[in-house]
Chain A
Amino acid sequence: MTNSWNDIKNADVILVMGGNAAEAHPCGFKWVTEAKSNNGAKLVVVDPRFTRSAAVADLYAPLRPGTDIAFLMGVINYLLKNDKIHRDYVKAFTNASYLVKEGYKFEDGLFTGYDASKRDYTNKSDWEYQFDEQGMAKVDDSMSSPNSVMSLLKAHAGRYTPEMVERICGTPKDKFLKVCELIASTATGERTMTSLYALGWTQHTTGAQNIRCMAMIQLLLGNMGMPGGGVNALRGHANVQGITDLALLSTSTPGYMVLPSERETTFADYMKSRAFKPIRPGQTSFWQNYQKFFVSQQKAFFGAAATAENDWAYDYLPKFDTGYDTLKMVDMMAAGQMNGLFCQGLNIMMAAPQKDKTRAGLGKLKWLVVVDPIETETARFWENHGEFNNVDPKSVQTEVFQLPTSVYVEEEGSFTNSSRVIQWHWKAAEGPGESRSDIDIVAGLYGRLKAKYAKDGGAFPDPLLKLTWSYTNSASPAPAEVLKEINGYVVQDVTDPADPTKVLLRAGQQLPSFAVMTADGKTAAGCWIYTGVYTDAGNMSMRRDASDPTGKGVHPNWGFAWPANRRVLYNRASSDPNGKPWSERKKYVFWNGARWTGADVPDYGPLVAPDKSVGPFIMNPEGVGRLYVRGVMREGPFPEHYEPMDAFLENPLHPKVSVSPVARIFAADAKSFGTPDKFPIVATTYRLTEHFHYWTKAVHGNAVLQPELFVEIGERLAKAKGIKDGEWVEISSQRGAIKAKACVTKRIRPILVNGKPCDVIGLPIHYGFIGLARKGYATNTITPSVGDASVNTPEYKAFLVDVKKTSAPAASAMA
């Protein structure tokens, strides 16, 4: 979240799209009801289904799964055509006035520089800004030059007329325009809209660009950095924000730094592309401090072994050749390219798309270690469960080890929630039986590997042998010690550059903030954005002061929000270029004549006067928010609608480039995509409020509240197929078939796409052949294995199926 859960109460319009907050985040949803009852907020829900969120919405609009970009670009077109943008904000705080190279073109669904043989944009040079001799981006303050970002955006979005939106999305024009009007009502400094999204936007081949679209809308409306504004990802797990911060992606290191690639063989090479020079005069470009954060991280990893002479142990880091995400892992397993798999806190057989591929892959491993608090289907992938898991155990040679873990209430530690607030949790009970904490299991593994390398040597044992491991009990590091290390500490006294006799930081001291980090090895920190969470004043994540001095939902002394205990990012943008709040109603962070002050920790140099014209988006080398992102994203500088890989129709905008030209497709999956002649129905998958992933089917109470897999079918389709409530239905895709009980509903509205009826069905995940809920099929048997181009998220949310009435699964499987 750029903002916070609590901040939702400040919103005037709440857009729930690309998620179902009431269903998946019922506790956080309290802030939506709060905004509605105490701030007069209007709730707008856009979703293929009329959801639990829609049940309490002021306005609902349907759309076909996988067409969010068309809808959102349509909103942008509406805002630009009707001059419903926050003009002063856009002019001062975005790159709307920047000039793009003359060579930039978008034609027939492709930006310039595409290489069809590589399925990638291999030449992005024409996506650049025009630069002057000093290396500064050229701007045209009138925003009217034909190559200004604003003009290019007008042209790009201009194709998404309300009629085109209706044609692609199936959203009736009048409904779409009503949504636009409500969104447009926040294009002033007096009102804000918050956007709440989750996996409904990410799990598409165009996932990252779905979210880009909303970022652009919020910039045009002037809602970034504002209370009750922002683009807010609702994370699906108590600590999924935490795992992302600590390097979820296989090509990242903690704190959103990048793991070196195999092309960056030296530290100098690596730093060359990470200079982050400002590209407008006087801008902060905060990533200029990259080297300080990176060196401090290496010091935290390797301690005394990281020296200036060995480039801070740069060679100890693995260098990636390609990303090793879940899809890649499964693909390699299935191709017999992996010997073993550590599955920790992941039920991969149920969670990854195309279950049969995953199961085949698991069967080709020599060994599989499942580290989990409960029995999982993954650990039992070799077991025959009739049609739900039709496998011959004799044919599987994989050796499976199960290591039982304790769960979060059986250990202490910290969670980072969607608001970026790090909160400590205390141990409430002992774990059962032989369970151990995940930390102990990893520490045990490390201890044994280290001992083996120390004894037997190896090609390059240094990274393992010299890893910092100075915990009181090396076999069981205390979570508080780990958090202290993540926060960082002073390795060697840091003195004042002006007066070397003056010691600013003493060796051994916990770092108070990332601002004091140095690039000369005197400071160490595991994850720079977390610095401040565990200082000499103590463990800030334990703070539980609920007071909110300004009433803006800031709660500064509750836990610790990264970065720097800031609750709303980019908050300097809540004031105009002169430092005056855009409105009294939305007063948040402002210049008081001497410094920046207000409800929150300013996201800005606290003493940098407004007349210095430093932009509020201090992380960007431009200093402004980006409506146009140059080469940052693989799909291109502007979002564009592409059909899901299982395409329901030829893309009306550019039939020749119907699906994403850069989506990540594995050769092994080339024939796994469906076509509408065989699979004429659009399907989407989702979670239910009564369950958490594949866990809670092991809990009696949850199993009672939603006992069995079902499929939601609109009345029109049910009638056509002769399917009644509660009857068994077979749902088939190019990847396989499953059975589920019918939930015939009015909540899937009949829509017309490109003038033709389009039927949508919905399938919850959650069910399998282990647990207390009714046994059933894995929904992911039928989902496609294809990844978003930028971040490789699988496309669970939009694919093609057929449905027909069928009989119950065999009694033997159900038992």
Chain B
Amino acid sequence: MATLQSLDIRRRSASTEAPPQVRQGSLEVAKLIDVSKCIGCKACQSACLSWNDLVEPVGFFEGSYNNPPDLTPTSWTVMKFTEYEKGDDLEWLIRKDGCMHCDDPGCLKACPAPGAIVQYANGIVDFVSENCIGCGYCVKGCPFNVPRISKTDRKAYKCTLCVDRVAVGQAPACAKACPTQAIYFGSKEDMLDHADKRIIDLKSRGYEKAGLYDPPGVGGTHVMYVLHHADKPSLYAGLPDDPRISPLVGLWKGVLKPLSLAAIAFAGVFGFLHYVTKGPNEVSESDERKGDDLAGGKGA
């Protein structure tokens, strides 16, 4: 998607331009997924397919209620069901998986294509397909294993947090469709407040470790969860306990990038000096003849 006029870009992948300065006070948004209210009905999944005009192929039953079993280039959100035995009791933990819209997005940091991944001032991280080169670095950069590369067009896809809806003051399609208000959307501040209330309720029902999932390792996220077991996020279909951007991305952006830039600069400077001291490359008569022979004797 191209830029939306009302959404200022905070960051662009592989670019150094300064963000626009005129508009101030853009509200940071967040989606709050209250896992304790989720019944796994997949209305969000259906709304996502529908709003974004995505056609996921009909799959097979593969042993659980997860359908499709994982995120795909056309399924930007999927419900993940985990059966968790706690002593004599059972819990069916149902988590809506998808892009977390990290405040410090590993995908954007890893992306080498200028402007293929942007972060808006409101916190939404979005893929700009026309700039995507399909290299898959975003996949490596994501601590939540979210982006998927399409085999058809070699572009990366993921949840846009319905940036097109948010830009015109609407909640994301999933939040709109959720029948039990397990998905809230609003300013990040309001969502944090709401999460506090939900956590108090959950603690009163015996979930002593109830809490918010807003992992600091990625600067916090613009998609957050209320979890009954916030001490063990990985119970919820492998939600990372302490997500961080892969050190490889850090290496590439942090140490390797200046080194590589230095190497490029060095090559340039060396070439120039070489030209100055040695002059341009000269082609001898014998070189020309050898070249003609190689080209089948048809050279000029």
Select B41's contact among A22, A707, A709, A773, beta carbons within 8 Å. A22
CB of B190 within 8 Å of the partner chain:
no
Known A26-B39, A55-B91, A747-B90; contact A703-B179, beta-carbon cutoff 8 A: no
| Complex contacts, B145 vs chain A, CB 8 Å | none
* A249 interfacial by beta-carbon distance below 8 Å: no
Nearest-neighbour CB distance to chain A for B10, whole angstroms, equals: 34
- Docked-complex contact B58 and A772, CB < 8 angstroms: yes
Q: Which of B39, B46, B50, B205 contacts A55 (CB 8 A)?
A: B39
Minimum Cβ distance to chain B for residue A352 (Å): 25
Chain B residue with the shortest CB-CB distance to A21: B39
- Inter-chain contact A746/B42, CB cutoff 8 Å: no
Q: For the complex, is A241 an interface residue (Cβ under 8 Å from B)? A: no
Bound complex: CA A91 to CA B108 (Å): 71
Tell me if A650 is interfacial: C-beta within 8 Å of chain B: no
The answer to whether B181 and A33 touch across the interface, beta carbons within 8 angstroms, is: yes
In the assembled complex, which residues on chain A have CB atoms less than 8 Å from the CB atom of B93? 55
A497 CB → nearest B CB, Å = 52
Does B57 make an interface contact (CB < 8 A)? yes
Task: Find the A residue at minimum CB distance from B63.
Answer: A725
- A700 and B55 contacting across the interface, CB-CB below 8 Å: yes
Q: Is B188 among interface residues, defined by CB-CB distance under 8 A?
A: no
Which one of B39, B45, B204 contacts A705 once the chains associate, using CB atoms below 8 Å?
B45
A562 within 8 Å of B (CB atoms): no
Size of interface on B: residues with Cβ below 8 Å to A = 41
Q: B168: shortest Cβ distance to chain A, in Å? A: 23
| Cβ-based interface call for A328 (8 A) | no
Q: Tell me which of A160-168, A660-668, A678-686, A737-745 binds B.
A: A737-745
A741 touches B61 (CB 8 A): yes
Q: Is the CB of B61 within 8 A of A707?
A: yes
Chain B 180-213 interface residues, beta-carbon cutoff 8 Å to A: 180-182, 198, 201, 204-205
* Among B83, B93, B198: residue with most chain A CB under 10 A: B83
Which of chain B's residues have a CB closer than 8 A to the CB of A22? 39, 41, 180
Q: State which of B38, B58, B201 has its C-beta within 8 Å of the C-beta of A774.
A: B58
Q: What is the 8 Å Cβ interface bit string for chain B, positions 49-61, against chain A (1 contact, 0 not)?
A: 1100001111111
Q: A55–B179 contact, CB under 8 A?
A: no
CB neighbours (8 Å) of A703 from chain B are 58
In the complex, the answer to whether B94 meets A27 with C-beta atoms within 8 Å is: no
A177 vs chain B, min Cβ distance (A):
14
B143 at the interface (CB under 8 A from A): no
Bound: A56/B35 CA distance, A: 9
Chain A interface main SS type: mixed
Say yes or no: B46 contacts A746, CB within 8 Å. no
Q: Contact at B179–A701, with CB atoms within 8 Å?
A: no
B38 contact from A23, A34, A56, A742, Cβ within 8 A: A56
Residues of B within 8 A of A26 (CB): 39, 41, 43, 179-180
The CA-CA distance from A56 to B57 in the complex, in Å, is 30
With a cutoff of 8 Å between Cβ atoms, the chain A residues found around residue B90 in the complex are 50, 60, 746-747, 749
B59 adjacent to A747 (CB under 8 Å) = no
Q: How far is the CB of A179 from chain B (nearest CB, A)?
A: 14
Residue from B41, B61, B85, B182 within 8 A of A689 (CB atoms)? B41
Residue B40 is within 8 A (CB to CB) of chain A in the complex: yes
A93 is an interface residue with CB less than 8 A from chain B: no
CB distance from B55 to the nearest CB of A (A): 7
Contact assessment for A700 and B58 in the assembled complex, using a CB-CB cutoff below 8 Å? yes
Give B78's nearest chain A residue, CB to CB: A705
The answer to whether A55 touches B85, judged by C-beta atoms less than 8 angstroms apart, is no
Given contacts A55-B94, A744-B63, A745-B83, contact A689 B58 (CB under 8 A): no
Q: Give chain A residues whose Cβ lies under 8 Å from the Cβ of B131.
A: none
Minimum CB–CB distance from B2 to chain A (whole Å) comes to: 28
Q: How far apart sit A700 and B56, CA to CA, in the bound complex (Å)?
A: 9
Cα–Cα distance between A743 and B46 once the two chains are bound (Å): 22
One of B61, B180, B201 near A30 (C-beta < 8 A)? B180
Contact A27/B179 with A54-B92, A745-B83 known, Cβ cut-off 8 Å? yes
Tell me, rounded to whole Å, the shortest Cβ–Cβ distance linking A699 to chain B.
10
- CB contacts (< 8 Å) of B36 on chain A: these are 56
Q: Which residue in A23, A37, A689 is a CB contact (below 8 Å) of B37? A: A37
Given that A37-B37, A55-B40, A55-B94 are contacting pairs, would A743 and B63 also be in contact in the complex, using a CB cutoff of 8 Å? yes
Flag B67-102 by CB within 8 Å of A: 1 or 0 each.
110000000000000010100011111100000000
Contact B68 A704 (CB under 8 A): yes
**Given A690-B67, A742-B63, A774-B60: 16 more A-B contacts, CB < 8 Å:** A22-B39, A26-B180, A29-B39, A30-B179, A30-B181, A37-B201, A55-B39, A55-B92, A55-B93, A700-B55, A701-B49, A705-B67, A706-B65, A707-B58, A708-B61, A746-B83
Q: What are the 8 tightest A-B residue pairs by CB atom distance, in nearest-first order? A: A725-B63, A708-B61, A22-B39, A726-B63, A55-B92, A26-B41, A746-B83, A33-B180
A-B contact pairs, 29 of them (CB 8 A): A22-B39, A22-B41, A23-B41, A26-B39, A33-B37, A33-B180, A37-B37, A37-B198, A52-B39, A55-B38, A56-B36, A60-B89, A689-B41, A690-B41, A690-B42, A704-B49, A705-B45, A705-B67, A706-B65, A707-B59, A707-B61, A708-B61, A709-B61, A725-B62, A726-B62, A744-B63, A749-B90, A773-B58, A774-B61
Q: List chain B positions with a Cβ less than 8 A from chain A.
A: 36-43, 45-46, 49-50, 55-65, 67-68, 83, 85, 89-94, 179-182, 198, 201, 204-205
